[in-house]
Structure 1
Amino acid sequence: MKGVPGHLAVIMDGNGRWAAKRARPRWMGHARGAQTARELVAHCARLGVQHLTLYAFSSDNWKRPREEVGFLMDLFASHLDRQLAELRANGIRLSIVGRRDRLPPALVAKMEEAEARTAQCTRMHLRVAIDYSSKAALQEAFARVQAEGREWPADPLLPNVDLLLRTGGERRLSDFLLWECAYAELAFIDALFPDLTTADVDAVFADFARRDRRFGGLNSAPVPVGSA
């Protein structure tokens, strides 16, 4: 498909509101959102997206009720168990970005196993952000550079984002990939994440293909994924 972004980042917003609209508990929205995420991953791989980063749980989400946080941790673990074989079969490498020291040890063990068992996959690199804060990641990187006496690297911590999509009608970045989104195209749609369809994704990509990305210059020019 023409105009497919090399790196798509998605803020998966609206699971709780999806459940509330149906007078259902919030956990049902998260469960439906997890299925939508699975469909999104498969669709992006089919279209040729090279990098897909999903914002699953921000560092600020620890403020949510304990029951909801506990369900999300269990949901992450169960989906790792169920989706690992599918990721490997489809050539999708999985990486988890964010802090790990506050996550349940059993979940961390599953994350590390999934990363190791998909490390050689090359069709698409899927990154899932859990306990993630872009500001914290930058602060940690800056402290490491200072401690090691090195210069600040020119490259971002992750590949530069070509297109950032946020569902749910909100229009903000919410501390997600702030450096990597320096020249990202932004797409905000009203659909709640569990209602996101492949047709919605195709429409966003078609709009992305029509945009003129000049990167501070005067004429459009293709920029390799991961370049500044």
Structure 2
Amino acid sequence: MKTQKCLCLTVLFFLMILPTAWAGVYWESVVETRGVPQGMPSNMPKEVLAQFNKTEVTKNYVSTDASRSESRDSVLLMDFASLTICQISPSGRSYTQMDIRTMMGQGDMGKMVEEMKNSIKITPTDETRTVAGYKCRKYLVSMMMGQGEYWVSQEVPGYEQLREIGKKMQEFLEKNPMLRQMNVAGMMEQLNGFPVQTVMETMGMTTVTTLKRIEEKVLDKNLFKVPAGYKKVEMPTMPYAHGTE
């Protein structure tokens, strides 16, 4: 799949399921990725396979105004009011910036968003178990990007605050004609809980994300800004072509 298409899908997925907090919520998750991306040879060198098969801890900070997600190699910032997303490369001291409203008006993005929204299917099950210390219920989730299972709980700290701001984000999207179709009526509401663990199969890859810790806290506004001295670089433009790999 083309790089631009992958990035767009990632951004849209991020927007659709992103939990948010009233004052501030911080959580860490352990992310385990295994497999070989679809279309790539299985006999790749070990150093190449290591890029796909890894375990890392992600850190997430969410306030009423913005969110920050840190992985090993990058930082993703989102401003809810302006609907801009910055992807930061700490090693390169650079960043790219995307305006979601502008992106929605380019090429077949609107069609892709509609396809993704229509592809999401959430099926509750009666299966329960304790994950990371929280009593969870299993949901089956399928979408354009893959399919898998979500183990969700209402016992995590800040759950009610997460729900309330999630509803406010839905209201904002509904009022914006260009972004209305991105509102999937609150995936978190449909899940009826916070995803403590997710197991997703996507394009030949299996990703298991497990909550490590979560807490309500006051967050420094500087967390949601690009560090001083970082250079803005242009993201390569590539028209979305339906069905291309």
Q: Structure 2 length normalisation: TM-score? A: 0.26
Q: Structure 1 length normalisation: TM-score? A: 0.27
Higher normalized helix content (fraction of residues): 1
Higher normalized strand content (fraction of residues): 2
